Amino acid sequence: MDEAGRRERSVLGQQREATRYRVLVEIAARQPAVSQREIADAIGVTAQAVSEYVGDLVDLGHVETEGRGRYRITKEGVDWLLTRTDELQAFTSYVAEEVVGRVDVEAAIATDALAAEERVTLSMRHGVLHASPGAEGGRATAVTVTAAASGEAVGVTGFEGLLDYEPGDVSIVPVPRVGDDAVALEADELRALAAAHDLLAVAGVEALAAVRGAGLDPDVRFGTVQAVETAAARGLDVLLVAVETAVSTHADRLREGNIRFEVVETVGPAV
């Protein structure tokens, strides 16, 4: 039996069965003093309806009464509740993994005019996903869910294959904390390093001052731990100028993400 068929036999298959399940959950949570009015308010039905459901549950042997307004769930009731809960968990897992997972939509930049429901080839350029018309053999492909002109964002789904690109590398230049005795950064060498990388990030006020002192403007100033890892994972080479106390935090994150990195020795004295 397929998942839809199993669902019809589960607590989701009939509204009455679903409401009975919710009433039993409320009884189990509130026992032994059970207010039918509170249950009605909690699940959005009338108190009269709750009274009828409670009567059904007593007749089924899932609940026993201890007098007016006092109820307890029985062992049979617990077993029924656990069985239906397992069914719900299985169904929600199916929805999350098999249904929602199949309709994930990502945004990409259209390299040419694209129509909706068009098969496209995906590529990573400058850290950004791009979509090009047609399907090239051996390349990652997807299907557009919107139309787009060249340069516009387009939604893509139905992914097949793997993107063919290499993650970037990260070079970390430590900067001494203010007041510490250390060799200052040499502006020319810092500019040369920045020119050899796709992205310049700074972590810490001292790092920002050092970069600005070299006449550079950083691409990333905040949230660098995540930003640097993400940029490198998308194929960009990153130069990170960081105050010494922040280096270990960044290095740990890069190791966890399997991102290649090196710590550059303090570059020569300022001129």
Query: Secondary structure of 247-265 in the HEC alphabet?
Result: HHHHHHHHHHCCCCEEECC
User: Which amino acid type is present at position 71?
Assistant: Y
Give the range with max mean pLDDT: 37-41, 85-89, 134-138.
Answer: 37-41
Phi and psi, residue 117, nearest 5°? 60, 35
For the chain, the residue count is 271
Mean pLDDT value across the chain: 85
Residue carrying structure tokens 């098969």 = 119
Peptide bond into 167 cis (omega under 30): no
Phi and psi, residue 188, nearest 5°? -60, -45
Share of the chain above pLDDT 90, in %: 48
Higher pLDDT, 162 or 248: 248
Architecture in CATH of 3-101: Orthogonal Bundle (1.10)
Is residue 270 pLDDT above 70, yes or no? no
Higher pLDDT, 15 or 252: 252
DSSP, collapsed to helix, strand or coil, labels residue 86 as: helix
Q: Where in the chain is the domain with CATH 3.40.1010?
A: 170-263
How far, in Å, are 16, 88, 121, 234 from residue 110 at the CA level?
49, 41, 10, 18
Q: In the structure, what pLDDT confidence band is assigned to residue 203 with cuts at 50, 70 and 90?
A: very high
Residues 73 and 24: beta-carbon distance below 8 Å: yes
Q: Say how far apart CA 164 and CA 169 lie, in whole Å.
A: 16
Q: Say how far apart CA 69 and CA 79 lie, in whole Å.
A: 23
Q: In the structure, what pLDDT confidence band is assigned to residue 96 with cuts at 50, 70 and 90?
A: low
Is residue 181 pLDDT above 80, yes or no? no
Predicted model pTM: 0.57
80, exposed or middle or buried, with CB in 10 Å at 0-12, 13-18, 19+? buried
Q: Say how far apart CA 250 and CA 107 lie, in whole Å.
A: 28
Tokens at 52, concatenated: 């009828």
**Quick one: pLDDT at residue 226?**
92
Is residue 184 pLDDT above 80, yes or no? no
Higher pLDDT, 177 or 133: 133
Nearest to 171 by CA among 213, 148, 199, 136: 199
Q: Give per-residue pLDDT as tens, 8-46.
A: 445 555 678 888 888 999 999 988 888 888 888 888 888
**Quick one: pLDDT at residue 121?**
94
The residues pairing with 123 across neighbouring beta strands, listed in sequence order, are 130
**Quick one: pLDDT at residue 120?**
95
The CATH T-level fold of domain 170-263 is Cobalt-precorrin-4 Transmethylase; domain 1 (3.40.1010)
**Quick one: pLDDT at residue 97?**
57
Q: Where in the chain is the domain with CATH 1.10.10.10?
A: 3-101
Is residue 3 pLDDT above 80, yes or no? no
**Quick one: pLDDT at residue 7?**
45
